[in-house]
């Protein structure tokens, strides 16, 4: 249409950053509340005392070594679907949730 101005409103991308601490063989969701997202980065916190497993639901099956501060991305629609299992006392997993 001549003389009209069209604008498109888009929500800005948001990144939620946090740290999850789990103990021996405990399996917990990465976050408790449903958190819609595009992808999640997980990595070990510097000085982490133990390895962790990352997975979905009650099955945490991908090793996250205590020294893996570079981490990896998981493409998923809800961060609460990611499970974290500690293999040592107070294993620390850092995360970035990209919404």
Q: In what order do the strands lie in the sheet with 39-44?
A: 15-22, 91-98, 39-44, 72-75
Dihedrals φ, ψ of 46, to 5°? -55, 135
**Measured distance CA(33)–CA(65) in Å, rounded:** 26
pLDDT for 10 beyond 70? no
Residue 57: what pLDDT? 66
Query: Which DSSP string corresponds to 59-81?
Result: EEEEEE-TT--S-EEEE-SBGGG
Q: Which CATH number fits domain 15-98: 1.20.1740, 2.60.120, 1.10.3470, 2.60.40?
A: 2.60.120
Tens digits of residue pLDDT in 64-87:
999 999 999 999 999 999 999 888
> What confidence tier does 56 reach under pLDDT thresholds 50, 70, 90?
confident
- The domain limits of the chain are 15-98
**pLDDT for 12 beyond 60:** no
Residue of higher predicted confidence among 39 and 11 = 39
């Amino acid at each position: 249409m001549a003389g009209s101005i069209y604008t498109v409103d888009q929500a800005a991308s948001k990144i939620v950053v946090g740290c999850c601490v789990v103990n021996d063989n405990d399996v917990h969701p990465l976050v408790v509340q449903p958190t819609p997202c595009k992808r999640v980065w997980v990595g070990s916190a510097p000085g982490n005392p133990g390895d962790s497993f990352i997975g979905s639901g009650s099955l945490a099956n991908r090793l996250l070594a205590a020294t893996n501060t570079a981490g990896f991305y998981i493409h998923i629609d809800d961060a609460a679907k990611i499970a974290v299992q500690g293999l040592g006392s107070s294993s620390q997993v850092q995360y970035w949730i990209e919404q």
